[in-house]
Amino acid sequence: MKLFAGNSNRQLAESVAKYLGVSVGRASVRRFADEEIFVEIQENVRGEDVFILQSTSYPANDHLMELLIMIDAFRRSSARRITAVIPYFGYARQDRRTSGRTPISAKLVANLITRAGADRVLTLDLHAGQIQGFFDIPTDNLYAVPVMARDIRARYKDLSSVIVVSPDVGGVVRARALSKRLNDTLLAIVDKRREKPGESEVMNVIGEIKGKDCFLIDDIIDSGGTLCNAAEALLEKGANSVTAYITHGVLSGGAVNRIMDSKLTELVITDSIQPTAAVESAPNIRVLSITDLIGEAIARTSHEQSVSSLFD
């Protein structure tokens, strides 16, 4: 088994390699003067079980092209099996047609990865579970909930005042999974209306949150507007505090400043996307490592063992 990485998240790749007891494979991923991407594999991979770790985070198109070209390079170098390890799967929010004459870009990206030559995909907290069905190759969707639950248990010994909150109706399944791992704590839902992408208005809070420590859970935070609005609504309804656990910290534009100025006690994100300097310096943003989760999933895949048992 050999682990390689593009340029999207070298820190995570190095950490996962250390967990697996291997070194990140030698490969050159560089650009020509016109920004055209060139990949050269600098070691023998014939007959090897190859894993490519690459999030399709900002700049999404560049990192996606890096992944596709690396897959093609390994396929032409006679790798036995190629697994695309995509901690953050970009374009996942375009998983359906929301209006006329619009694409389903998540399906297009799935087709590109498959046709490039990947034999398997390993990803984390897809925005919509049905995206697994967009791939015509085996796809494992890992969940960050167990990692988050362990972190909450380590920091909050008394869970009697804790309530898990979903920021919208679509995230109830994820919120319920976290609640179950926290001794079936109470559950609440923020009912919101999204007028256009990147903007939302909180309409109501479903559930009794007065005097509770609220834990908002979601898969993606981008502009941060929804999360900040939800935190304000919960505090107005009498919540003691609001902490957010989000898998993918996209945090585009002025999102980091928005979080720092918000009423959130803390925002906890994973390193599925490599944290920027602004994220690392923010006083109320903390990064939770998914190294063990990704590393163990890669090890089990390589040894043909069950991955789903990680979440039993």
**Residue ranges of the chain with per-residue pLDDT less than 70:** 193-203
Q: Which domain does 99 fall in, by range?
A: 2-142
Q: H/E/C letters for each residue in 86-131? A: ECCCCCCCCCCCCCCCCCCHHHHHHHHHHHHCCCEEEEECCCCHHH
Instruction: Tell me: is residue 72 an annotated ligand-binding position.
Output: no
pLDDT digits (tens, 9 = 90+) for 260-312: 999 999 999 999 999 999 999 999 999 999 999 999 999 999 999 999 988 87
Instruction: Tell me: is residue 36 an annotated ligand-binding position.
Output: yes
Average pLDDT across the chain, whole number? 94
| Domain assignment of residue 231, yes or no | yes
Q: What is the pLDDT of residue 29?
A: 95
- 66 with 37: CB under 8 angstroms? yes
Its pTM stands at 0.94
Count of the separate structural domains present in the chain: 2
| Domain assignment of residue 17, yes or no | yes
| Domain assignment of residue 149, yes or no | yes
CATH of the domain at 50: 3.40.50.2020
DSSP annotation of 254: T
How far apart (Å, rounded) are the C-alpha atoms in residues 268 and 247? 8
In a shared domain, residues 178 and 114: no
In a shared domain, residues 124 and 163: no
In a shared domain, residues 163 and 101: no
In a shared domain, residues 94 and 159: no
CB atoms inside a 10 Å sphere around CB 61: 11
How far apart (Å, rounded) are the C-alpha atoms in residues 188 and 190? 7
- 240 with 258: CB under 8 angstroms? no
DSSP helix, strand, coil percent of the chain (3-state; round to 5): 35, 30, 40
Catalytic residues: 192
Q: Write down which residue in 109, 142, 175 finishes a domain.
A: 142
In a shared domain, residues 113 and 199: no
Instruction: Tell me: is residue 35 an annotated ligand-binding position.
Output: yes
Instruction: Tell me: is residue 55 an annotated ligand-binding position.
Output: no
